[in-house]
Amino acid sequence: MNIKHLFYSFILGLLANGASAATISVKITNLTQGIYFTPLLVTSHGDTMHYYSLGDDASDALQAMAEGGDFSGLVTQAAAMGGVNIENPAEGLLMPGTSTLASDWDTGDNDHLSIVAMLLPTNDGFVGLDAWPIPAAAGSYTILLNGYDAGTEANNELVVDGGGAPGMLGIPANPGGNGGTGGVGVTTEEGNSRVHIHRGNLGDSSAVGGSSDIDSRVHRWLNPVAKVTVTVH
């Protein structure tokens, strides 16, 4: 075999090795002041799977996660397409200013990464990373995540404890317990019914009444809402 053939064999070997992701660790940090993340779903998968697409209608599975924190439908979707899931790495809600880590994760042949969780308190807001290509080269990579609106429910910003499931207007819970009560509602309809960048909570400063059950001094937020650090070992 001549030098030219040896060179091409070397390059082809590098490409083949890059087709499968290495062992990775994924650290997720909540960057907000007063927003909680429901249990996170972290998935490695191929390049054809998407939990959501900006500008498209939300699936029923995405709606269930974005309105009530139920990611079981997305777990089923991923499993059907060969995805590998890490469910609830924080073992509960991820509080503002805290992090969780999924370490030494062998993604096998899966070379893309997705992350989703509902934002509380919101009507149908969620934090998301969609089909991010996992680098083959070892190193540390940082991604900032936005908050998205599933477009499936009006952002009335009214807390309905124990409710707010898909099809029921309202926020299912305010984990911090630091909002108001008796609001009349910010709105009853939304102009954009597809997945889009969330406008952020509006809120008000009224403990009783007002337009919202959300405190603008605590729950107002702008993007980004999370930082993800992926370490490829």
Binning pLDDT at 50, 70 and 90, where does residue 167 land? confident
CATH number (domain holding residue 31): 2.60.40.2130
**Would you say residue 5 lies in a domain?**
no
**Would you say residue 11 lies in a domain?**
no
Instruction: Give residue 220's domain range.
Output: 21-232
pLDDT tens digits for range 24-55:
999 999 999 999 999 999 999 999 999 999 99
**Would you say residue 6 lies in a domain?**
no
Adjacent-strand bridge partners of 215: 204
Q: What pTM was estimated for this model as a whole?
A: 0.89
From the list 119, 77, 121, the residue with the least C-alpha distance to 216 is 121
Residue 137 has pLDDT above 70, yes or no: yes
Domain count, the chain: 1
**Would you say residue 4 lies in a domain?**
no
Spatial separation of the C-alpha atoms in residues 167 and 88, rounded to whole Å = 24
From the list 191, 185, 175, the residue with the least C-alpha distance to 206 is 185
Spatial separation of the C-alpha atoms in residues 47 and 134, rounded to whole Å = 10
**Would you say residue 152 lies in a domain?**
yes
